Amino acid sequence: MDNSPNIHNNLTLNPEMNFLNSMNEDFNLDDDLVVDSPYLSTEFNCSYISENNFLTNQSILNKFNILSLNIQSLSSKFEQLKMLIFKLTSANREPAIICLQEIWRLNPDCNFDLPGYQPLIFKSRSGGVQGGGLVFLLK
């Protein structure tokens, strides 16, 4: 049985409670200032679901997906990541973009290629500092 959290959130931006209006009030910006922003009238629907629900939910089949994970050491968790991507691919839910945070130090001799993705693009912390780092993998 899946015990992971299953949280659903729907967010509708209220034009009276948005960043630009707050900025105008906080900084007394000129009322003639016109800012053209798609966020003033955009509705966002966000759903956070468990891995099993994601794999079986038919309404998200073959949609554009972005996977973002705090992986806490890509070197130690690469095999688990490959298994997750295999599960998602098998269910036709393969992410178009994979974003990984906290990759830590990468051994340049290791192969972190995932089938079907471009070679990884990454940035580690300089000076041999443990922690941090980002990876992007693109379909």
Does the pLDDT of residue 34 top 80, yes or no?
Answer: no
Pairing status of strand 134-138 against strand 121-123: antiparallel
Contacts by residues 107-111 (CB-CB < 8 Å, ≥ 24 positions apart): 107/75, 110/75, 110/78
How far apart CA 106 and CA 53 sit, in angstroms, is 32
Does the pLDDT of residue 5 top 50, yes or no?
Answer: no
Q: What is the pTM of this model?
A: 0.63
Does the pLDDT of residue 66 top 60, yes or no?
Answer: yes
Cβ-contact 2, 50 below 8 angstroms: yes
Q: Which residues contact 67 (CB under 8 A, 6 or more apart)?
A: 88, 95, 97, 98, 99
- pLDDT tens for each residue of 93-136: 899 999 999 998 887 778 899 999 998 888 887 777 778 889 99
Domains in the chain: boundaries: 1-48, 64-139
pLDDT of residue 114: 93
Handedness of CA 113, 114, 116, 117 (dihedral sign): negative
